[in-house]
Amino acid sequence: MKLKTLEMTLQRLAGFSRPRPSLEQYQTPAPLAARLLYHALMNGDIEGKRVCDLGSGTGVLAIGAALLGAESVIGIEIDEKALETARANADLLDAAVDFIAADAKDPLLPERAGPCDTVVMNPPFGAQKAHADRPFIDLALQLAPVTYGIFNAGSTQFVKAYTEGRGEIAERVGGSFQIKRTFSFHTKDVQEIEVEILRLKRTP
Ligand code: SAH
């Protein structure tokens, strides 16, 4: 599947029915999701691999990974409503994804969900709850040797310091991207934020 085809396919997926700001629910835009997944595919991190999507939300990243030939895909999400949307989205595209309800902070989760070969994630950035992204980084490093994560632009220093001794930033993928983020409590308020994709490698 070509990058453009993947992007157009992911564009068809439904968004959050009632996005919860406290969970920083916003859908990863199809072009950004496709970019991340395609890059991971080219690195040999998707096809035939066990992929986990942390904070899978509407399922865009998980479903995309399945369409690109992952051996198995697990989507981990705390919110039941989002899981419903994600399951319907997977059905729409006939993608085999196992969406499970779990809190990324649950210490038993690595045993339940892992191990996997590759983590993909667009975690909360910590705009509503400070440091909300940390449990996701911790879990990613436990689950897989390689992670592709979407972070606020300018997070490189933080991620580098936070993962010291556990992992390293192997790559910054494709510069920064603008994404529009709409909060449910201010439906007319669209905020542009700049994000970047980082590829983390776990320290062996
Ligand atoms: N890739 C997703 C992005 C979702 S935004 C998409 O395109 O839809 C971040 C997601 O993380 C939200 O769905 C939110 O509900 C989920 N989340 C927030 N805190 C969580 C936690 N502690 N454990 C699991 N999921 C969580």
* pLDDT in single tens digits along all 204 residues of the chain: 899 999 999 999 999 988 887 888 889 999 999 999 999 999 999 999 999 999 999 999 999 999 999 999 999 999 999 999 999 999 999 999 999 999 999 999 999 998 999 999 999 987 666 788 999 999 999 999 999 999 988 889 999 999 999 999 999 998 777 777 766 555 556 677 889 999 999 998
Q: Give me the residues paired with residue 197 across strands.
A: 150, 173
Q: Determine the pLDDT at residue 118.
A: 98
Distance 76 CA to ligand 1 centre (A): 8
With beta carbons less than 8 A apart as the criterion, state whether 192 and 178 touch: yes
Q: Is 147 in the pocket of ligand 1 (CB under 6 A)?
A: no
Q: Determine the pLDDT at residue 183.
A: 63
Distance separating alpha carbons of residues 141 and 148, to the nearest angstrom: 11
Mutate to test the pocket of ligand 1, among 32, 56, 60 (most ligand atoms within 8 A of CB): 56
Q: Determine the pLDDT at residue 190.
A: 67
With beta carbons less than 8 A apart as the criterion, state whether 128 and 22 touch: yes
Distance separating alpha carbons of residues 50 and 150, to the nearest angstrom: 19
Q: Determine the pLDDT at residue 188.
A: 58
Q: Determine the pLDDT at residue 41.
A: 98
Phi, psi for 176 (deg, rounded to 5): -110, 160
The answer for residues whose C-beta is within 8 angstroms of residue 10's C-beta and 6 or more apart is 30, 33, 34, 60, 63, 64
With beta carbons less than 8 A apart as the criterion, state whether 27 and 60 touch: yes
Distance separating alpha carbons of residues 145 and 115, to the nearest angstrom: 9
The answer for residues whose C-beta is within 8 angstroms of residue 50's C-beta and 6 or more apart is 70, 71, 72, 73, 74, 115, 116, 117, 118
Take residue 108 and report the two structure tokens written for it. Answer: 């038993």
Q: Is 29 in the pocket of ligand 1 (CB under 6 A)?
A: no
Q: Give me the residues paired with residue 186 across strands.
A: 183
- Give the nearest ligand 1 atom to 132 CA: 19
Closest CA to 75 of 92, 50, 93, 94: 50
Q: Determine the pLDDT at residue 127.
A: 67
Tokens 């709850």 belong to: 129
Distance separating alpha carbons of residues 140 and 161, to the nearest angstrom: 16
Mutate to test the pocket of ligand 1, among 17, 54, 79 (most ligand atoms within 8 A of CB): 79
The identity of residue 44, as a single letter, is G
Residue 108 sits at the vertex; the CA angle it makes with 103 and 141, to the nearest 5 degrees, is 80
pTM above 0.85?
yes
Q: Is 124 in the pocket of ligand 1 (CB under 6 A)?
A: yes
